[in-house]
Amino acid sequence: EPEVTQTPSHQVTQMGQEVILRCVPISNHLYFYWYRQILGQKVEFLVSFYNNEISEKSEIFDDQFSVERPDGSNFTLKIRSTKLEDSAMYFCASVDRGIQYFGAGTRLSVL
């Protein structure tokens, strides 16, 4: 069964550094999402992406965040200058016929 792939599984970075989280959505899916889950809390929506542009973003998704689909397969989330409070699990998802398929997540630890 096709799956959403995320790399790396765990990223450790120093505060103030830039990080790029990568996702390969299921091929032929057209809508892509990033969600975030701070430890012990619920999963929260960050941003949705369609037709090479942002469709919707939450208030969490400030100027430090950006998304890109640099080629036909990858979908990336960049955090320009990480803060301690960015430590979380980040999930990528893509959609087919209303069902959202999630990747295994990237655990980001900001020290």
Partner 1 sequence: GIQVEQSPPDLILQEGANSTLRCNFSDSVNNLQWFHQNPWGQLINLFYIPSGTKQNGRLSATTVATERYSLLYISSSQTTDSGVYFCAGLTNFGNEKLTFGTGTRLTIIP
* Binding stretches for partner 1 (CB under 8 A): 31, 33, 35, 37, 41-45, 48, 50, 55-56, 58, 89, 91, 93, 98-102, 104-105, 107
Ordered DSSP codes for 24-82? EPPTT--EEEEEEE-TTS--EEEEEEETTEEEEE-TT--TTEEEE--SSS-EEEEESS-
Between 14 and 42, CB nearer to partner 1: 42
Q: Which residues pair with 75 in a beta bridge?
A: 23
Give min distance, CB of 49 to partner 1, in A. 9
Give min distance, CB of 16 to partner 1, in A. 25
